[in-house]
Chain A
Amino acid sequence: MNKLVIVGGAAVVLVGAFVIGMNVYRGQQTEKVSQIAATDSDSPFNRPDAPMIGTIMAKVEIVEYFDPACESCREFYPYVKNVLEQHKNQVRLSLRYAAFHKGSDYVVQILEAARLQGFDIYVKSLETVLDAQPIWANHNNPNPSMVWTLLGNTGIDIERAKREMNDPRILARLKQDAADIVKLNVRKTPTLFINGKPLREFSPEGLASQVASEVRAAYKT
């Protein structure tokens, strides 16, 4: 019986140390990110050339690092859109690319080429690419060039997009995102920040509640 107490107590200590360490580490990371958001003159949270959904007037900004080939990004996108819809004109979404999967940098370049042809075409292309992800983004055998045939009814000028996808502006945009990923220590997709604070709980509810509380804080009269 006594031995059970010793081992049980030791187990509690070990697990307790793990949990405390986790909270300390996460606190430090959040602190680091908010430090960057507040003081960095070249802050990753200030990228006006990144694609933005919603109005510039919105006081709450979600920054989402995503990969068009990532399943969770595909699954999470409707919830992000839903939050934007719910807080129309108060919340905007700034999209950043974290092309971690093989072949997704190619698709990102297609998306950015679509953006050069107009914002509506961009959003349609983005949603088509996410929607059709199981077709082109099989992890064992990704086939990003297939994306071209899928974009048929987005209104995109495919020949023009093919010409422009290596435009220096696009490559500069991607390089910037890659540098910001290192700065913010983004390791998973999607990674979301709400007004420069990491999303605490990765779930639709977690997103909804954290955004709602940021909106309350920003629009307090």
Chain B
Amino acid sequence: MTDKSTSRQWNLLFVCWLIAGAATLGSLFFSEVMERVPCVLCWYQRIAMFPLAFIFTVGLFPLDVRCVRYALPIALAGWAIALYHCLLYLGVIPESLRPCTQGVSCADVKIELVGFVTIPLLSLLGFTLIISLLLAVRKGIKQ
């Protein structure tokens, strides 16, 4: 592998790290500072997003492209949940009828930042970007 391609991979992973870090802190901002209680689906997405920040940190020092292997399944799982959550928001999928428990509805629109931008949409965007970047890194390894 050439120096140029390793530095490209490092840069791509660094961007992944930035996205995962910003998403982690952003979701903590919503829950800890703005005190919005995360719904169940938000928690599942957090479970996927938080460890990515750590995996990428380790993968950057020293550069270890194999971290893509570990990060990709987690990111895909998070992406699937985020997609489901967005569809639930949009009403494409109805929230299943179940007994009321004290908690937070996943279909409630809590925050629309600019017009249509909701938290699950941001999450979907984050996971999509991370997955695309990881695929780009992986493509670099195979070549």
A residues with CB within 8 A of B: 3-4, 6-7, 10-11, 14-15, 17-18, 21-22, 25-26, 101-102, 187-188
Please, which residues of chain B bring their CB within 8 A of the CB of A4? Answer: 61
A26–B21 CB distance below 8 A: no
A21–B33 CB distance below 8 A: yes
Known contacts A11-B21, A18-B28, A102-B102, A3 near B34 by CB under 8 Å: no
Chain B: interface residue total (CB-CB under 8 A): 17
A14 to B26 CA separation, bound complex (whole angstroms): 9
B residues with CB within 8 A of A: 10, 14, 17-18, 21-22, 25, 28-29, 33-35, 37, 57, 60-61, 102
A15–B29 CB distance below 8 A: no
Please, which residues of chain B bring their CB within 8 A of the CB of A102? Answer: 102
Known contacts A25-B33, A26-B33, A7 near B28 by CB under 8 Å: no
Q: Most chain-B CB neighbours within 10 Å: which of A3, A25, A188?
A: A3
- What are 15 A-B residue pairs whose CB atoms fall within 8 Å in the complex? A3-B10, A4-B61, A7-B17, A10-B17, A10-B21, A14-B18, A14-B25, A17-B25, A18-B25, A18-B28, A18-B29, A21-B29, A22-B29, A25-B33, A101-B102
CB proximity of A91 to chain B, nearest CB, Å: 27
A21 to B34 CA separation, bound complex (whole angstroms): 10
Please, which residues of chain A bring their CB within 8 A of the CB of B37? Answer: 187
Cβ-closest chain B residue relative to A23: B33
CB proximity of A28 to chain B, nearest CB, Å: 11
A18 to B17 CA separation, bound complex (whole angstroms): 16
Known contacts A3-B61, A7-B17, A7-B60, A22 near B102 by CB under 8 Å: no
Secondary structure at chain A's binding surface: helix, strand, loop or mixed? Answer: helix
B25–A15 CB distance below 8 A: yes
A131 to B18 CA separation, bound complex (whole angstroms): 48
Please, which residues of chain A bring their CB within 8 A of the CB of B102? Answer: 101-102
Cβ-closest chain A residue relative to B34: A25
Cβ-closest chain A residue relative to B60: A7
Please, which residues of chain A bring their CB within 8 A of the CB of B17? Answer: 7, 10
> Which 10 residue pairs are nearest across A and B when measured between Cβ atoms?
A187-B35, A18-B25, A22-B33, A14-B21, A25-B33, A14-B25, A102-B102, A14-B22, A10-B18, A7-B60
Residue in B18, B22, B60 whose CB lies within 8 Å of A3: B60
Residue in B14, B22, B29, B33 whose CB lies within 8 Å of A7: B14
Please, which residues of chain B bring their CB within 8 A of the CB of A18? Answer: 25, 28-29
Please, which residues of chain B bring their CB within 8 A of the CB of A10? Answer: 14, 17-18, 21
A188–B35 CB distance below 8 A: yes
A6 to B35 CA separation, bound complex (whole angstroms): 32
A14 to B23 CA separation, bound complex (whole angstroms): 10
A22 to B28 CA separation, bound complex (whole angstroms): 11
